[in-house]
């Protein structure tokens, strides 16, 4: 559990933690894979969210999944990409957090991923929280904690079994 003081500092600039969905590169599940390759290579990200036609988050598409679709048993065939849709190779609905976000859950998810998808109550894509934005908040927290709070070390608690052995 995150302490109140730390959580307050982490969320002090909460509005800047999430990159709004309008500013995030996404693909529709119906887009052809050649379009996905174009988008992924132009934006320079290895993975982006996939939405359905209603704007709901349905999965993630990675550059490696698109490239893998070009391979057959003996050759690389870039022309094959037009035969597939994003939905054919995407990772279906990975974990997302719902608004309002639980910062502890976000921190746990960012251990393994570069970003976490944020949705509203109807699974409509709202945006992403990146590891970079969280690290900015952590940096702010560690620099501000002792300037705003008096921090003292707690006395170690002796376990009951150890205390009984001593007596």
pLDDT in tens, 117-128: 999 989 999 999
Instruction: Count Cβ atoms within 10 A of the Cβ of residue 90 and give its class: 0-12 exposed, 13-18 middle, 19 or more buried.
Output: buried
pLDDT in tens, 138-153: 999 999 999 998 888 8
Return the higher-pLDDT residue of 160 and 99: 99
Structural domains in the chain?
A: 4-150 (3.10.580.10)
* pTM for the predicted model, two decimal places: 0.84
DSSP type of residue 101 = P
pLDDT at 75: 79
pLDDT at 164: 61
User: Average model confidence (pLDDT) for the chain?
Assistant: 91
């Amino acid at each position: 559990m995150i302490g109140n003081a730390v959580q307050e500092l982490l969320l002090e600039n909460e509005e800047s933690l999430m990159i709004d969905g309008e500013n995030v590169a996404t693909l529709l599940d119906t887009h052809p894979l050649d379009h996905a390759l174009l988008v992924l290579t132009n934006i320079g990200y290895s993975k982006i969210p996939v939405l359905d036609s209603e704007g709901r988050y349905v999965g993630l598409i990675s550059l490696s999944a698109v490239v893998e679709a070009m391979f057959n048993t003996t050759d690389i065939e870039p022309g094959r990409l037009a035969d597939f849709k994003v939905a054919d190779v995407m990772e279906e609905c990975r974990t997302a957090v719902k608004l309002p976000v639980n910062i502890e859950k976000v921190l746990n998810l960012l251990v393994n991923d570069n970003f976490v998808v944020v949705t509203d109550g109807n699974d409509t894509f709202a945006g992403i929280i990146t590891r970079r934005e969280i690290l900015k908040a952590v940096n702010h927290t560690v620099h501000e904690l002792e300037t705003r709070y008096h921090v003292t070390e707690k006395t170690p608690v002796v376990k009951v079994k150890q205390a009984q052995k001593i007596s």
